[in-house]
């Protein structure tokens, strides 16, 4: 008697891609790159943004009529609202480029804790939400600047448990003054750099 059990194929995990946006012109070009390469039409996507808010003490504003707690609450609410507007702006860009309704796009608003670097907030998001791929840029500005420069992209590539893709600014690369006797590596000749985690499949 043949007692061999039939092989059971586990259900395929849907690819979840997280994209960090920062509000810069380059961030918008990165969104366009993702749309051009069918990221939004093919996969489950989350746009995420990290905003900064550091509470202040009474010593910073002596004689203020409003309590420190109230002032911090108002400033925190304003910072959060501004960051949410930025996420909605990028969701609108995605909708205009792809036809995908903003309501079908996941948005994640993260707060950078005082004295905690943005890269750690991103890493915490990755550990909690388990995206298949994390996409970030090679440059940026504003509160997300620390996340979108090489040192932080390097941090994610070495510490994130998922695959990390770093999209280079194609426009900036074409206008940059060439270095004398440049050292050419595969990473500098491609549109994106990627670190693959084989365990994320």
Whole-number pLDDT of residue 64:
57
Q: How far apart are CA 81 and CA 76, in angstroms?
A: 9
Tokens standing for residue 24: 């810069």
Whole-number pLDDT of residue 48:
93
Whole-number pLDDT of residue 140:
53
Reduced to 3 states (helix: H, G, I; strand: E, B; else coil), residue 110 is strand
Which residue reads 């499949």 in tokens? 201
- Averaged over successive runs of 10 residues, the pLDDT of the chain (201 residues) comes to 56 78 84 90 89 70 66 88 93 89 84 74 94 82 48 83 86 53 40 55 43
Q: Give per-residue burial for 95-104: e unless 16+ CB within 10 Å, then b.
A: beebebebee
Please give the DSSP secondary-structure letter assigned to residue 201.
Answer: -
Ordered DSSP codes for 49-60: EEEE-----GGG
Reduced to 3 states (helix: H, G, I; strand: E, B; else coil), residue 71 is helix
Whole-number pLDDT of residue 7:
58
pTM across the whole model = 0.73
Tokens standing for residue 42: 């093919």
Whole-number pLDDT of residue 11:
46
Reduced to 3 states (helix: H, G, I; strand: E, B; else coil), residue 52 is strand
Whole-number pLDDT of residue 85:
94
């Amino acid at each position: 008697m043949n007692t061999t059990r039939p092989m059971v194929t586990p259900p395929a995990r849907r690819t979840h891609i997280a994209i960090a946006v920062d509000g810069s012109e380059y961030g918008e070009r990165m969104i366009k790159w993702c749309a051009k390469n069918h990221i939004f039409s093919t996969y489950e996507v989350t746009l995420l943004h990290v905003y900064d808010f550091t509470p202040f003490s009474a010593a910073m504003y002596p004689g203020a009529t409003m309590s420190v707690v109230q002032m911090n609450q108002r400033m925190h609410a304003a910072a959060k609202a501004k960051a949410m507007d930025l996420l909605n702006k990028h969701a609108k860009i995605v909708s205009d480029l792809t036809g995908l309704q903003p309501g079908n796009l996941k948005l994640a608003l993260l707060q950078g804790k005082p004295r905690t670097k943005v890269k750690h907030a991103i890493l915490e998001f990755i550990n909690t939400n388990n995206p298949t791929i994390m996409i970030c840029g090679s440059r940026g500005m504003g509160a997300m600047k620390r996340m979108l420069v090489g040192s932080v992209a390097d941090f994610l590539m070495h510490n994130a448990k998922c695959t990390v893709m770093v999209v280079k600014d194609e426009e900036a690369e074409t206008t940059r003054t060439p270095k004398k006797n440049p050292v050419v590596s595969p990473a500098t000749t491609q549109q994106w750099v990627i670190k693959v985690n084989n365990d994320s499949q």
